[in-house]
Amino acid sequence: MEVVVLATFIFGYVAITLEHTLKLDKLIPALMMMAVCWATIALNLDSFGQWLDPHSGNLMDITSINHEGKIHLLEGTLLHHFGKTAEILIFLMGAMAIVEMIDHFDGFSSIKKTIRTNSKRKLLFIVSFLAFFLSAIIDNLTTTIILITILRKIIADKNDRMWYAGLIIIAANAGGAWTPIGDVTTTMLWMAGKVTTVKLTEYLILPSLLCVLVPVIIASFLPVFKGTMEIDHSDDSDQNKYDGLMLILGLVLIIAVPVFKSITHLPPYVGMMLSLSIFATVSEILSNRSISFTNPEADEHHKGPTMKALSKIEIPSILFFLGILMTVASMESLGLIFNFGQQVSAAIPESVFVTLLGLASAVIDNVPLVAASIGMFREGVDAEVWHFIAYAAGTGGSILIIGSAAGVVAMGMEKISFFWYLTRISILALLGYLAGIGMFLLLV
């Protein structure tokens, strides 16, 4: 039956990678393979001889356990993995809501005010470092959307914007790798207790920075980034008067989440909910709405920034993560991932495996890769391998435009073709990726 579970994952994942060809949203095969995998386990529970204890992380021999005992074990394991997955999803939903409320006040438009140069080379460095540091706080997908939207307002030439978008993808993915709130994969490692905020930043800020600097410096000497351009600032006066305030407040509250965790030792989603509640309170006050208590039908509550933000949360992405993480959990429970990890460790060096994992993330979604790697290794908190995985999975996706959410959204917004990116940006991304690996190995 292990073969059936593994085959279900493989077929489901093929369907996910062929999302655009099949015209089937990736959340559908993700949820389906999750349900089929766990149903297969439940219906054939007595045929399994080993089980991974989710609490101790050790493989158990369950051949001597009776059917009722195995059912109890299954229920406890399922509840454990769903709880851990729910922690990640609630955390992401809170972060998404804060980002949406910042956008409600046109907070990200205030970034445009900082761009005053008409030099193409200077603009390249400005947007790349904005992407790098902004994606360390909010996700790389949102960062890419924000910066490309700004570029579309100030740069008329489409070919120029495509080049800038390519470097933004690299910078946004690299920026998300060195903080626990910058990328889904680093958040997963952080919430799984594999890395801490201080050590993650200590290990990865220089490799991630080099991952950006190498391609940006090389690109700055290309003809497309030479000379000057006209910067359009015609709509600067139309911005919300609270834009800068809400941008700063939102980013500070997100950054405060790791601090809250280090002080209280509570799960990160608790801190994110606190930050969300504070930000929502300020948002509602500044929106200056009146709520009618005598005439409920006149109540404008549902039109406020909080409700609008919650309605814009990407539920398909949340459900996709649910399906992927719970599917990987099913294979982990059967010991398949642990056994695979043992075989890989015996066959090739750990550093080679993680480097290949990063390259694979250019083709395969990095969420299941990282979820699987968590079940492969048994090293303790802040072990070098966890930080290496965070870097490789976070930055390797930049090598191909389809390798990250940032790349896919840029592909759609600027109509960048796969081969245009492959022939112009991929080599820059690969050089940055390898340079960062070299820096990481030197530091450790």
- CA angle in degrees (0–180, nearest 5) for 192-194-197: 100
Residue 158: what pLDDT? 87
Q: What is the largest CA-CA distance in the chain?
A: 75
Residue 405: what pLDDT? 81
266 and 121 in contact (C-beta within 8 Å)? no
C-alpha span between 100 and 156 (Å, rounded): 27
| Residue 380, burial from CB neighbour count under 10 angstroms (0-12, 13-18, 19+) | exposed
Place of tokens 């990640």: 88
C-alpha span between 180 and 176 (Å, rounded): 8
Residue 293: what pLDDT? 40
Non-local (6+) Cβ contacts of 258 within 8 A are 179, 180, 181, 190, 197, 268, 271
Residue 289: what pLDDT? 54
Return the C-alpha torsion angle 443, 195, 368, 264, nearest 10.
Answer: -160
Residue 291: what pLDDT? 43
C-alpha span between 321 and 31 (Å, rounded): 9
Residue 359: what pLDDT? 92
The alpha carbon of 234 is separated from its chain's Cα centroid by a whole number of angstroms, namely 34
| Residue 65, burial from CB neighbour count under 10 angstroms (0-12, 13-18, 19+) | middle
Residue 290: what pLDDT? 42
Residue 210: what pLDDT? 96
| Sign of the CA dihedral with 112 first, then 116, 119, and 125 last | negative
C-alpha span between 193 and 354 (Å, rounded): 19
Residue 296: what pLDDT? 47
Is the whole model's pTM more than 0.95, yes or no?
no
pLDDT in tens, the chain (444 residues): 788 998 998 898 888 877 777 888 888 998 999 999 999 999 988 888 888 888 777 788 888 888 888 899 999 999 999 998 899 899 889 988 998 888 888 888 778 777 778 899 999 999 999 999 999 998 888 899 889 988 888 888 888 999 999 999 999 999 999 999 888 899 999 998 899 999 999 999 999 999 999 999 999 999 999 988 776 656 555 567 788 889 899 999 999 999 999 899 899 999 999 999 999 999 988 886 544 444 445 455 556 788 888 888 888 888 988 998 899 889 888 888 878 877 877 888 888 999 999 998 888 778 888 888 888 888 889 999 999 999 999 999 999 988 888 888 888 888 888 899 999 999 999 999 999 999 999 998
Residue 199: what pLDDT? 94
| Residue 110, burial from CB neighbour count under 10 angstroms (0-12, 13-18, 19+) | buried
Residue 294: what pLDDT? 45
| Ranges of each domain in the chain | 88-443
